[in-house]
Amino acid sequence: MKKKLTSALAVLMAVLTVVSFSSLPVFAENEETSEVTVTFSVMGDTAHGSNGTHYNFYNWISPESVTVAEGTSVAKILTDVLDKKGFTYNMKSGYLSGITSPGGCKLAEFTNGGGSGWMYAVNGSTPMVGASAYRPKDGDTVTWFYVDSYSNDPRISSGKFEPEITLNNIESQWDSYHANNGVVKDSEADCRSTSENFTFQLKNANEWGKGVSDPLIVGNNVYAVAGDLLYVLDSNGEPVNGVALEKSIGYTSRLLYADGVIVVPFANGGLQALSAETLQTLWVTDDVSYTDNDGNSKTQQALTTLTYDDGYIYYGTGCADISSTSCGVYKCVELLTGKDVWQYTNDASGYYWSGAVVSGDALIFAGDDGIITSLNKKTGEAIDSLSTGLNGVRSTVVMSGNTAYCTTRDGYIVSFSVDSEGKLGDLKSANFAKSSTCTPTVVNDTDGNAVVVVGGATADYKGILAEIDGATLEVKRTVSAIADVKSAPVADVVNGHTYIFYTANKTPGSLYMHELGSDTSEEIYTPDSSAQNYCMASPVMDNNGHIYYTNDSGCLMSVNFVAPYLLGDADGDGKVKVADVVIIQRLILSPDGLTPALLARCDVNGDGKVSVVDAVMVLRHIMGYQELQK
């Protein structure tokens, strides 16, 4: 009986096997899996806690197209995108309990109160199923968003999941202190001669306690701060926007623009980040906290350059008296969230008017102790250090190739090498002034050799601007100024000529220009009597030759610079030749390409237009029959 049962079971299993395999679907070889494309974003907040200030919900990850296999859940889409962009998260069975930004800002359930946490929406509604069970269709819009209160969020009731603040990446022309290493190339003037563009009063002259920042140029607008007010002006000096800040800046301040965000440093080390377009606030950080070994709190000042690199802001502070700093920190802050990433502490000295440069994974800066420090920019861990042996550094470190430069308070130019790992070496120094707090600008001479242009003061309290060989540190030439040149020089390279702009710290607070290789400088702009004052500020420049700077009067001044030119030199190469006649003829036929700068060079007879008469006059000059006005 047992043998018969075993045989019957064997026959049954064989039949089931045949039936099972015969019922399997047959797939075509190389059949493609269907895909869907969704618009995906993550809308976050700051980790302000239950009692902190909520400013605005904004995109941690801006809307982007994501293509996935059909049937992929919104939970899986989220984790894939977060992995790709360097975020971490806590998710279990499709329930998202927290997201941590690359810089370490964690937004989790209950971070901002008992009703706070993460939700998701599809096409403006919140599905009533878990994220691991919802599979979006092609063309859907998927938004993950953080709420401070599940029961009281207007986005849920309205079905409108738009951020309260948008961050559009506006092209900038001058995005930080000493932007573009202080160099503008081939500016195209939009006027015919060097002249004042505008003067705008940022503060009253008697408001001595109110600091004024150096300006930024973002889009076609100029940004500057006076006290606790951020101004936005167009290129003609007309106000287009403005906002009151959470706190006031110090007596000097270096703003930063990056990825659609304006960052303002406050007097005691806090930062405020705002949308450059709308001036809405993203986040505000606390003042820098420092406690010495005896438990004493030391107030910090934030007067250094804000350095930006790949999503992170770097800056230093110092506890300062009239002439020195007793301690300080260097910090890394995430641009997206304002989260402190790391803080490096110097218990012996601080950072005042100095600034860092990024080289590979290294952040390099120097301070009042004269020590150059190289840290890992991601972790803040020490890589290397190098003592200048000199009287402190109050300049931003700048790079040219693998060589870095800075100045010291006792008037030395310092150079050193930086290798691929951030190691420092080949230290050199040369004295060029009695003192200097000027950030150098590195340009090339006509032979392609690096020239360091830097300012300072002489023993008799006059000023000096020096050209220094970038390789040997030999002082090639100097020109005198009426007072200490504290400003970082700005270089405009036009038609093979390099023009250097700078200020001097004495009334009237004028703007000066020096052509590289010459032995003189000239005062190209003197402020109106009401705007005259001392001037430590550095000029900035846009691509149309507009130079902007401030002085202690509280005025923001704009000067139109037109590079020196020869009449008839249409192509601006410094010579008048047949090719210039051809250009003039083309402009007569097609005047759409006629810029103010071209008009100035080609309008030989001065009648305000380009005509056949101008072409004939240039041709007669080439043939030796006529002299042109110089």
Q: Provide the mean pLDDT of the chain.
A: 91
Q: What percentage of residues in the chain have a pLDDT greater than 90? A: 77
- Mean pLDDT of the 214-242 span: 97
Does 548 share its domain with 570? no
**Same domain flag for 452 and 540:** yes
Could you tell me which residues are beta bridge partners of residue 229?
226, 244
Containing domain of residue 467, as a range? 184-192+440-552
Is residue 473 domain-shared with residue 532, that is, in the same domain? yes
Do both 464 and 523 map to the same domain? yes
Span 144-198, pLDDT tens digits: 999 999 989 999 989 999 999 989 999 999 999 999 999 998 777 766 678 889 9
Query: Among the three residues 140, 158, 176, which one is the final residue of a domain in this structure?
Result: 158
Least confident of 100-104, 227-231, 569-573, 604-608: 569-573
Confidence of residue 569 (pLDDT cuts 50, 70, 90): confident
**What is the C-alpha end-to-end distance of the chain, expressed in Å?**
124
**Hey, what amino acid is at 352?**
Y
In this structure, of 187-191, 482-486, 489-493, 524-528, the range with the lowest mean pLDDT score is: 187-191
534 and 582 both lie in a single domain:
no
Same domain, residue pair 110 and 41: yes
pLDDT band at 20 (very low <50, low <70, confident <90, very high): very low
Residue 370 placed within a domain: no
Specify the range with the lowest mean pLDDT, choosing from 284-288, 295-299, 335-339, 553-557: 295-299
State how beta strands 271-275 and 261-265 pair: antiparallel
What's the pLDDT tens digit per position in 319-359? 988 788 999 999 999 999 999 999 999 999 999 999 999 99
Residues 173, 142: contact at Cβ < 8 Å? Answer: no
Whether residue 102 sits in one domain with residue 63: yes
Residue 29 pLDDT:
47
Mean pLDDT of 595-619: 87
Are residues 599 and 544 both part of a single domain?
no
pLDDT band at 433 (very low <50, low <70, confident <90, very high): very high
Q: How many domains does the chain have?
A: 3
Which helix (H) or strand (E) is 403 found in, with range? strand 403-407
Q: List pLDDT tens digits, range 55-78.
A: 999 999 999 999 999 999 999 999
How far is it, in rounded angstroms, from Cα 160 to Cα 123?
Answer: 9
CATH code, domain carrying 578: 1.10.1330.10
Statement: residue 10 has pLDDT above 70: no
CA distances from 92 to 80, 89, 131, 145, 609 (A): 15, 10, 10, 18, 73
For 406-429, the pLDDT digits (tens) are 999 999 999 999 999 999 999 999
* Together in a domain, 574 and 529: no
